[in-house]
Amino acid sequence: MSLTIKLTITPHIINLNLHPKHRTKIPAYSLGVRPKPIYHSNALIPILYNNKQPRMSQASVSGSVIKSSLIEPDGGVVVDVIVPECERGSKTLEAESLPKVRLARIDVEWVHVISEGWASPLKGFMRENEYLQSLHFNSLRMGNETVVNMSLPIVLAIDDETKENIGSAKDVGLVGPDGDLLAILRSTEIYKHNKEERIARTWGTTAPGLPYVEEFITPAGNWLIGGDLEVLKPIKYNDGLDHYRLSPQQLRKEFDRRQADAVFAFQLRNPVHNGHALLMNDTRRRLLEMGYKNPILLLHPLGGFTKADDVPLAVRMEQHSKVLEDGVLDPETTIVAIFPSPMHYAGPTEVQWHAKARINAGANFYIVGRDPAGMGHPTEKRDLYDPDHGKKVLSMAPGLEKLNILPFRVAAYDTVAKKMAFFDPSRSKDFLFISGTKMRTYARTGENPPDGFMCPGGWEVLVKYYERLQAEEATPAAVSA
Amino acid sequence: MSLTIKLTITPHIINLNLHPKHRTKIPAYSLGVRPKPIYHSNALIPILYNNKQPRMSQASVSGSVIKSSLIEPDGGVVVDVIVPECERGSKTLEAESLPKVRLARIDVEWVHVISEGWASPLKGFMRENEYLQSLHFNSLRMGNETVVNMSLPIVLAIDDETKENIGSAKDVGLVGPDGDLLAILRSTEIYKHNKEERIARTWGTTAPGLPYVEEFITPAGNWLIGGDLEVLKPIKYNDGLDHYRLSPQQLRKEFDRRQADAVFAFQLRNPVHNGHALLMNDTRRRLLEMGYKNPILLLHPLGGFTKADDVPLAVRMEQHSKVLEDGVLDPETTIVAIFPSPMHYAGPTEVQWHAKARINAGANFYIVGRDPAGMGHPTEKRDLYDPDHGKKVLSMAPGLEKLNILPFRVAAYDTVAKKMAFFDPSRSKDFLFISGTKMRTYARTGENPPDGFMCPGGWEVLVKYYERLQAEEATPAAVSA
């Protein structure tokens, strides 16, 4: 019995919904022996996304059949605007006949986010009334006078020429960076893209050097186009990580399958060290104490755009996998999946988005730490945001009342116990704070962090990444010399 | 009968709550003869604020006795934190013993605003949790899960030295610019004043040249102190205009006395021209058509800080008075009073404050025009805000659902009819748009605007103001030559 359970969940954690006939194909490692992780292969994709079980029909089955006690998604229903397979041909033909908008890479990430319902009840790129509510109130008022959280403008910028091409057409076709037709945007509305105001109200600064701004807003067009999306097929990246990209509906289905009575989400964009693990495990303990029988952890690394000096997604996924393999987190009560959103580094404004999207995926507890979604001020020597504002704003945010916010206690390296532990102010000198920057410096210089900071397997992944990076950085220099 | 009515309301519009024995002292002008306006004297102040009827006791009487059908103030009760006269002595003694915070002129304006309940349910300068909600959500969540609008941070800045002086004291005394003890701030909380973030989120820009920012935020301290106010006595300016400064409670009482079944507020910081009058009169007509029997106009010029090139308050009040004297607005259905708030020029963020404060004064209709609270971008040749955003944001703002927003149609000078009229796009060439800047240029150069733009009496006030101004500007130049 315990052998069977190990087989379905240990190696990849995301190994969901396996039909019994597939399950038997996986070699039966003996109990106690850790199976080789296969997250870098696409082995699971055909099982999860095979032709007999297209994503859409699964979704509609889950919508109509499963009785769930999970938290209600914003607006009551998880949005799914992916065209059913049977209509794909006709919609594609129609899209070809429409004026076209060429998407940047970042726009495709947002199409992905919207298409699966992370931004429910949003059904497409924001029209002006949604944009203004998001910008000024971080929330949208619904027809029934309820309010949902919506802190980041989810918008599509176009330039003057594209606007002119569209003319008075109401529907447009969205074309990916590689030229593929990805979606139709219907009943569009074009309005001004006041970049300065958008930046100031979203980031609370207009200082030069904000990664998302410099990469995607400054070069973008002076107009925004909103409308309802119809996405021609699920967005895939073919980077060996698509099997981690579970939609909110897939996650909800899995939480139900595991009979979760509490789901606690942990958003991250960094490698998992033992301090993170401590607080995730401690959260589970607290939830059990509160009377929950089966709290499930959603370890949910952000998979979209991140700034250049963050650790790349593929490396992080490999590192997370080692953490589970090494037993630092319990695979039976953990789901690892990728959150497809890009990162804004917009602190208190963005952390609301991170929390809100997880409601849509079924999480009713959200762990928040120091300075969530924060970064250093781009031009001054200080944090851009007050490190406590994130959790404060989150606890007061409109539309997030139904979510349980779990602020985390500070963990640091206890030099006496030689492990990560919750900081004890009564013996503060025993504790060593190892920031993300410090951790990356260790890994880059090949220096080992103190024992017990991170599991050895996970650490090795980081060291190897920085070795590769330095080798790559050295190569062009040698050529140019 | 009609003679009696004229006597109580015609001359100053703000001639409220006159006891019969005072009323008889006013000379009985014959019907049809306009009485000389006396708004520049303090004649009414002893009647309104005499010792036998201190403001506080009036307030508590009105709270307990008057049954009103006016719109409910935010939080259910109009805040009044002015110390009752009987406690003034003891509270002043206590205040003298406390650590002191020296107020700037702008802080006194805010003490005034808070003390009379314009910002209800706010009872003092914002603590951090209110500040953050205001900054991020433009609203405050109340204990009963209702939401009130609160778009501008109403905060008190202190510098490092003052913070150090306060130490761990919880209560502080607030001292006016002239050294008078004005108030006690209780149960204080000191938190960081991140000026850049405050400016960016409030104005949607951090460009240099924002009047309120340059005058009051940039030079202010790096800390904010929040707490509950107890104001030792009503704030007065002794500028001959205090009788126009009616509190929300006094306005509510007057609306009740007049048996208003609708109150429509018009916020302005400019002279009233006939286009304004047209839309105010048209609004009244529309309200009558809607079935209201006695709609009352609150003509409510802003009386706090305005930028240097705006027309000063005293001149505006004189001009408004002429407009009523000349019969452009109907004195029987109009109340002119001063709104004591300072001006931020923060467009869509500020217009919410302007509307919310008028709810507290009893207005259930709010007239909003093009680019409310807007100005030119300080460094670029364009409006700082999209001129339509103000009314759009207002119509969607949390906590303002109970207020009826009346967007106004554009009025312009009709060169055929030779009067201000609603713009008719079918004959757009017949219309002349006269902006505030244009109007001021006419008055400054002594050129007459087209007939019918403004009543002659009102126009004369402006021309004389600019003549005085030019004379004053010429004088120092002559001296220095």
**ipTM, interface predicted TM-score of the complex:** 0.85
Do A196 and A291 belong together in one domain? no
Q: Domain count of chain B?
A: 2
Residue with the two structure tokens 């076209």: A100
State the CB neighbour count (10 A cutoff) for residue A302.
22
Question: Tell me: the pLDDT tens digits for B266-289?
Answer: 999 999 999 999 999 999 999 999
Query: From its phi and psi, is residue A225 left (phi > 0), alpha (psi between -120 and 50) or beta?
Result: beta
Do B194 and B219 belong together in one domain? yes
Do A380 and A256 belong together in one domain? yes
Q: Residue B85 above 90 pLDDT? A: yes
CB contact under 8 A, B139 and A137: yes
Q: Residue B36 above 60 pLDDT? A: no
CB contact under 8 A, A137 and B137: yes
Q: How far apart are CA B373 and CA B352, in angstroms?
A: 10
> Which residues of chain B have a Cβ shorter than 8 Å from any chain A Cβ?
128-129, 132-133, 136-139, 141, 145, 147, 192, 194, 196-197, 200-201, 203-207, 348-349, 385-386, 389, 392-393, 396-398, 401
Question: Tell me: the pLDDT tens digits for B98-145?
Answer: 999 999 999 999 999 999 999 999 999 999 999 999 999 999 999 888
Residue with the two structure tokens 């303090």: B42
Q: Are B135 and B198 in contact (CB under 8 A)?
A: yes
- What confidence score (pLDDT) does residue B40 get? 26
Indicate the residue among A201, A231, A261 that finishes a domain.
Answer: A231
- The radius of gyration of chain A from alpha carbons, rounded to an integer in Å, stands at 23
| Token pair belonging to A151 | 């802190």
Start-to-end CA span in chain B (Å): 63
Bridge partners, A174 (sequence order) = A101, A183
- What confidence score (pLDDT) does residue B437 get? 79
Q: Residue B50 above 60 pLDDT? A: no
> A145 lies in which domain range?
85-231
CB contact under 8 A, A132 and B348: yes
Do B161 and B268 belong together in one domain? no
Q: Residue B418 above 80 pLDDT? A: yes
Q: How far apart are CA A421 and CA A282, in angstroms?
A: 11
Q: Answer yes or no: is A77 within a domain.
A: no
- What confidence score (pLDDT) does residue B68 get? 62
Task: Residue B196: list chain A partners with CB under 8 A.
Answer: 204-205, 207
Q: What is the CATH number of the domain that holds A174?
A: 3.10.400.10
Q: Answer yes or no: is B124 within a domain.
A: yes
Closest chain B residue to A132 measured between Cα atoms?
A: B393
Do A375 and A400 belong together in one domain? yes
Percentage above 70 pLDDT, chain B: 85
CB contact under 8 A, B203 and A200: yes
Do A195 and A268 belong together in one domain? no
Q: For residue B378, what are the CA distances in angstroms to B201, B214, B393, B427?
A: 16, 11, 22, 34
Q: How far apart are CA A137 and CA B152, in angstroms?
A: 12
Q: Answer yes or no: is A428 within a domain.
A: yes
Do A345 and A429 belong together in one domain? yes
**How, if at all, do strands B262-268 and B365-368 pair?**
parallel
**Pick from A136, A196, A197: CB nearest B138:** A136
Question: Tell me: the pLDDT tens digits for B430-446?
Answer: 999 988 778 888 988 88
Residue with the two structure tokens 């404004």: A349
Q: Which pLDDT band, with edges at 50, 70 and 90, does B415 fall under?
A: very high
Q: What is the CATH number of the domain that holds B455?
A: 3.40.50.620
Q: Are A101 and A156 in contact (CB under 8 A)?
A: yes
Closest chain A residue to B138 measured between Cα atoms?
A: A137
| Token pair belonging to B225 | 């102190």
Residue with the two structure tokens 């109990």: A31
Indicate the residue among A161, A196, A231 that finishes a domain.
Answer: A231
- What confidence score (pLDDT) does residue A184 get? 98
Give me the average pLDDT of each 10-residue run along chain A (481 residues): 29 32 30 29 24 28 51 97 97 98 97 98 98 98 92 98 98 97 98 98 98 98 98 97 98 97 96 94 96 97 95 97 95 97 98 98 96 96 97 97 91 93 94 86 89 94 93 67 40
Q: Answer yes or no: is B254 within a domain.
A: yes
Q: Answer yes or no: is B237 within a domain.
A: no
**Pick from B136, B389, B396: CB nearest A349:** B136
- The mean per-residue pLDDT over the stretch B45-71 comes to 38
CB contact under 8 A, A200 and B196: no
Do A280 and A418 belong together in one domain? yes
Question: Closest approach of chain A CAs to the CA of B206, in angstroms?
Answer: 7
Q: Answer yes or no: is B71 within a domain.
A: no
Question: Closest approach of chain B CAs to the CA of A383, in angstroms?
Answer: 11
Q: Residue B45 above 70 pLDDT? A: no
Q: Which of B461, B214, B223, B443 is nearest to B321 (CA)?
A: B461
Indicate the residue among A190, A211, A231 that finishes a domain.
Answer: A231
Q: Answer yes or no: is B63 within a domain.
A: no
Do A307 and A194 belong together in one domain? no
Do A203 and A291 belong together in one domain? no
Do A157 and A214 belong together in one domain? yes
Task: Residue A400: list chain B partners with CB under 8 A.
Answer: none
Do B161 and B121 belong together in one domain? yes
Task: Residue A128: list chain B partners with CB under 8 A.
Answer: 392
Write down the pTM of the prediction: 0.85
Question: Tell me: the pLDDT tens digits for B179-213?
Answer: 999 999 999 999 999 999 999 999 999 999 999 99
Q: Answer yes or no: is A307 within a domain.
A: yes
CB contact under 8 A, B137 and A396: yes
Q: Which amino acid is at B442?
A: Y
- A-B CB pairs within 8 A amount to 87
Closest chain B residue to A206 measured between Cα atoms?
A: B206
The set of long-range contacts for B61-70, using a CB threshold of 8 Å and a minimum separation of 24, is B62/B249, B62/B252, B62/B253, B63/B249, B66/B252, B66/B253, B66/B256, B68/B252, B68/B255, B68/B256, B68/B362, B69/B261, B70/B252, B70/B255, B70/B256, B70/B260, B70/B263, B70/B362, B70/B364
- The mean per-residue pLDDT over the stretch B380-389 comes to 97
User: What contacts B374, CB < 8 A, 6 or more positions away?
Assistant: B345, B347, B383, B384, B385, B387, B390
Q: Are A68 and A267 in contact (CB under 8 A)?
A: no
